[in-house]
Amino acid sequence: MGERIIECSDGRIKMRTCAWSPPGDHPVGCGMYLTVEDGKVVKVEGDPQHPITNGRLCVRCLTLPEYMYNEKRIIHPMYRDPKDRGKDVWEEISWDQALDIIVEKWTAIKDKWGRESIVTFQGTGREPALYHSSLTYAVLGSPNAVFPMSGDSCYGPRCSVADFLLGAGYPEMDYAQFLEGRYDDPQYELPKYIILWGKDPLFSNPDGFFGHSLIDLMKRGSKFITIDPRITWISARSEYALQLRPGTDAALGIGMLQVIINEGLYDSEFVEKWTFGFEELKQRVNEYTLEEIEEITTVAKEDIIAVARIYAQNSPSAIMWGLAVDTNSNGTQVGHTIMSLIAITGNFDIPGGNTLSVPASFMGKWRYECANLLEPEIRKKMIGLERYPGFQAAHVVAHPDLVLDALETGDPYELKMAWFFGSNMLANTSNAQPKRWYEALRKMEFNVGQDLFMTPTAMALYDVFLPVATFAEHEGVVLPHFGRNTHMVSAMNKCVDVGECKSDLEICFWIGKRLNPDAWPWETIADFFTQQIQPVMGITFEDLQDEGWHMNAFEYRKYEKGLLRPDGAQGFNTPTGLIELESSLYEDWGEDPLPYFAENILTPFSRPDLAEEFPLIMTTGGRETTSFHSEHRQIKSLRRLMPDPLVQINPETAIQYGISNGDWVAIENPFGRAIEKALITEIIKPGIIHAQHGWWYPEQDGEEPNLFGVWKSTINSLIPHKAIGKLGFGSPYKNVMCKIYKVDSLDS
């Protein structure tokens, strides 16, 4: 491990830290040194001694100084009269003035409408995601914390499957992330095969996983299989690349289960001892024929058989399941099939398989426990509690689709104040149907937001703008590998200040101490972190800052050792104590206890009446290294690499519609329309297109009605609201029908 602070001979200093956000990132916690000169960060270098990332960084971290010192960054609190929303008429104010305005409005609204009339919005798993519930429950005292992605379809379906059927945290691939000696640790075994299922980690580093590790494993001999409608960098190097029709993953999973079960390739000892409902699962998967599955998925039956055999006959092997599992109304069913595949082949919690996390957690646990600070009567008012009890059991947050309904209709009650906590929701990111959210939210009495840039959401909706500090400007902890990971924690060490920016946690502290002091008893942020991490990791926050990162010992096969259940018994923390191939919970929540395939709501097959007009299928949002959702559009060196939103179209489809490379193209369906630029490419099959999300144009006029051009490439206007699964999870962000046609410009 290197020094925390290195004094260079030229007078500059290098400070070691681990990244989270902003700039946007899932908590990979990559290790780096920031060179500081005259109080400014001037250079970013990877830390070769970091155990997971070994000095490797992506372009978004390498351009950090350009982001931190960007001319468009907001670095002081600002206020605008609610009647001026949409106009660029901000007044710079002090933090004290901001606090006074917030306290006054919050008091008036809660006294008149009740605390439940306040709603808060988070974005993806950036750092504020860790403090969002605390802001809502422990600061504002409202029950309505919401991640506004329809059907909570990022990570929600995957985590709920892990909760309900496994009783454990999200099962990550074992890439020796928890072992001292990493790949050379004597306990470790290399996965023989890695299946990437709707996940592209080289570009996304998703869910706290360091994507480049796949290259390490490839070099060491792991082989790959990809399940992805597109040919990715890894698919091109895979033994099999199953290019399924978007949204048909549950059918494919059922086909693979059928082959493994019918051919007797499963681990019968594991199935017998540790699973519940095997016979019922067997019966269910045999209700489909492989011919039908081939027709649904467009994957050749022979390939389904081959991949199923390879996975079952090469233990250990791992499945990495990504966002495409969630962005599907069948999200929980897809997750169910994948979880069943891992289970019946005995690949859970073995070296080189899929690891399981222990139930007790620290920061995350505190996050959910904050809900206990709500008055019981208020907590009962959480939107969606009655309609989606399963959703609430897993998540303890308000339901996004029902929140939009409530905003529009006032049912079950009026919402009057919104707080944006790391969400640029109008910019084709989390929300389906963003214009509906915009129309509803502009009617609120009072809105507060915290961000770093003047986004379309801020320009349209905020009244108070609170400026946020990047990871180089504040202290914090990173929990890599998501799930309920309690094995590793890393420190973010503050290097510099920029303007008056504060971190999300500092903002919670600052306002929490005024609105709800009992919930915020810690003197300092360091005291708070120490109280969180010491009982689990055995070190103080200051120790962690010096060490850089800290790992607890990891044990495999925890189900044999009584490490997964609170009662210390062997098995899994589910009602049956076993992995539930047939759920014992779902029926009570109105869902089929076994996995099934159903067409998504807006495809040429579920809507044959629209198929002639909208014959194509659109998937969206495959990640690019140059942006994190709507972030980075104003970072010049990144924008040069990706100047325009691109829609990928197969050459055959392009000829059919008279579209050439570089043409502007309108993408349209009965719900909405967006314009992107054609990229003609063989990586996608005919009849399917892939469109980027998260586009707005910071260089354009920010005032209404233009709002930085946010309504031009409005890809999420094509995604229907409430096209969700029966448990309340999953929405078709990556599979809707559409048509395309050439237009003259982005403004057409």
How far is residue 266 from each of residues 223, 345, 684, measured CA to CA in Å?
A: 20, 5, 33
Nearer to Mo ion among residue 124 and residue 619 (C-beta): 124
CB environment 161-199: b (16+ within 10 A), e (fewer): bbbbbbbbbbbbbbbbbbbeebeeeeebbbbbbbbbbbb
Count of C-beta atoms within a 10 Å radius of residue 523? 7
Figure out which of the listed residues 50, 60, 336, 381 binds ligand SF4, where binding follows CB under 6 A. 60
Please report where in the chains the tokens 């492989």 appear, as a residue.
Answer: 290
Nearer to ligand SF4 among residue 402 and residue 551 (C-beta): 551
Q: Number of residues in contact with ligand MGD, rule: CB under 6 A?
A: 66
Does residue number 723 form part of the binding site for ligand SF4 (CB under 6 A)? no
Touching ligand MGD, residues 182-201 (CB under 6 A): 197-201
Nearer to ligand SF4 among residue 30 and residue 679 (C-beta): 30
- Report the run of H or E that residue 46 belongs to, with start and end: strand 40-46
**How far apart (Å, rounded) are the C-alpha atoms in residues 400 and 729?**
10
Pairing verdict, β 78-79 and 464-467: antiparallel
Instruction: Give which of ligand SF4, Mo ion, ligand MGD, none residue 19 binds (C-beta under 5 to 8 Å, depending on kind).
Output: ligand SF4
Nearer to ligand SF4 among residue 300 and residue 641 (C-beta): 641
Token code pair at residue 489? 């924690």
Shortest separation between residue 177's beta carbon and ligand MGD, angstroms: 17
Cα(first)–Cα(last) distance of the chain, in Å? 56
Does residue number 696 form part of the binding site for ligand MGD (CB under 6 A)? no
Count of C-beta atoms within a 10 Å radius of residue 104? 11
Nearer to Mo ion among residue 401 and residue 591 (C-beta): 401
Query: Within 120-182, where are the H helices?
Result: 132-133, 156-161
Nearer to ligand MGD among residue 24 and residue 141 (C-beta): 24
Figure out which of the listed residues 205, 332, 424, 606 binds ligand SF4, where binding follows CB under 6 A. 205
Give the angle 171-283-314 at the CA atoms, nearest 5°: 45
Q: What crossing angle do the helices spanning 278-285 and 249-262 adopt, rounded to 10°?
A: 110
Nearer to ligand SF4 among residue 548 and residue 672 (C-beta): 548
Nearer to ligand MGD among residue 195 and residue 489 (C-beta): 195
Sheet with 193-197, strands from edge to edge, namely 240-242, 223-227, 193-197, 318-321
What is the dihedral sign for C-alpha 160, 689, 639, 499? negative
Instruction: Give which of ligand SF4, Mo ion, ligand MGD, none residue 57 binds (C-beta under 5 to 8 Å, depending on kind).
Output: ligand SF4
Cα-only R_g, the chain: 25
> Which range, of 57-65, 102-110, 176-184, 309-317, touches ligand SF4 by CB under 6 A?
57-65
Does residue number 73 form part of the binding site for ligand SF4 (CB under 6 A)? no
Does residue number 721 form part of the binding site for ligand MGD (CB under 6 A)? no
Does residue number 452 form part of the binding site for ligand MGD (CB under 6 A)? yes
Touching ligand MGD, residues 244-263 (CB under 6 A): 244, 246-247, 249
Touching ligand MGD, residues 25-54 (CB under 6 A): 26
| Cβ within 8 Å of residue 571, ≥6 positions away | 274, 559, 564, 565, 577, 578
Token code pair at residue 600? 């998504």
- Closest Cα partner for 319 from 293, 340, 297, 296? 340
Shortest separation between residue 154's beta carbon and Mo ion, angstroms: 3
Q: Which amino acid is at 585?
A: L
> Which range, of 269-277, 444-452, 591-599, 736-744, touches ligand MGD by CB under 6 A?
444-452
- Report the run of H or E that residue 338 belongs to, with start and end: helix 331-344
Figure out which of the listed residues 47, 116, 127, 401 binds ligand MGD, where binding follows CB under 6 A. 127
- Asked whether 174 and 353 are in contact (CB, 8 A), the reply is yes
Q: Number of residues in contact with ligand SF4, rule: CB under 6 A?
A: 9
- Asked whether 637 and 66 are in contact (CB, 8 A), the reply is yes
Shortest separation between residue 420's beta carbon and ligand MGD, angstroms: 8
Shortest separation between residue 733's beta carbon and ligand MGD, angstroms: 4
Shortest separation between residue 19's beta carbon and ligand SF4, angstroms: 4
What SS3 state is found at 472? helix
Does residue number 323 form part of the binding site for ligand MGD (CB under 6 A)? yes
Does residue number 58 form part of the binding site for ligand SF4 (CB under 6 A)? yes
Shortest separation between residue 226's beta carbon and ligand MGD, angstroms: 8
Instruction: Give which of ligand MGD, ligand SF4, Mo ion, none residue 246 binds (C-beta under 5 to 8 Å, depending on kind).
Output: ligand MGD
Does residue number 57 form part of the binding site for ligand SF4 (CB under 6 A)? yes
What is the dihedral sign for C-alpha 304, 305, 307, 312? positive
Nearer to ligand SF4 among residue 64 and residue 459 (C-beta): 64
> Which range, of 55-63, 158-166, 399-407, 658-666, touches ligand SF4 by CB under 6 A?
55-63
Touching Mo ion, residues 154-193 (CB under 5 A): 154
Q: What is the largest CA-CA distance in the chain?
A: 73
Token code pair at residue 23? 């700039």
**How far apart (Å, rounded) are the C-alpha atoms in residues 583 and 27?**
31
- Asked whether 182 and 212 are in contact (CB, 8 A), the reply is no
How far is residue 436 from each of residues 403, 408, 425, 672, measured CA to CA in Å?
A: 12, 8, 11, 12
**How far apart (Å, rounded) are the C-alpha atoms in residues 123 and 462?**
16
Please report where in the chains the tokens 């607890």 appear, as a residue.
Answer: 552
Figure out which of the listed residues 177, 243, 340, 735 binds ligand MGD, where binding follows CB under 6 A. 735
Does residue number 668 form part of the binding site for ligand MGD (CB under 6 A)? no
Shortest separation between residue 203's beta carbon and Mo ion, angstroms: 13
Shortest separation between residue 341's beta carbon and ligand MGD, angstroms: 14
How far is residue 691 from each of residues 288, 388, 618, 661, 697, measured CA to CA in Å?
A: 32, 31, 7, 14, 17
Touching Mo ion, residues 101-160 (CB under 5 A): 124, 154
Contact string 618-637 vs ligand MGD (x = CB under 6 A): -xxxxxxx-xxxxx------
Figure out which of the listed residues 15, 19, 256, 492 binds ligand SF4, where binding follows CB under 6 A. 19
Figure out which of the listed residues 30, 271, 382, 498 binds ligand SF4, where binding follows CB under 6 A. 30
Judged by the rule CB under 6 A, the positions of this chain that interact with ligand SF4 are 19, 25, 28, 30, 57-58, 60-61, 205
Judged by the rule CB under 5 A, the positions of this chain that interact with Mo ion are 124, 154
Judged by the rule CB under 6 A, the positions of this chain that interact with ligand MGD are 21-22, 24, 26, 123-124, 126-128, 149, 154, 197-201, 203-206, 227-230, 232, 244, 246-247, 249, 322-324, 327, 421-425, 427, 429-430, 450-453, 455, 468, 504, 619-625, 627-631, 693, 715-716, 733-735
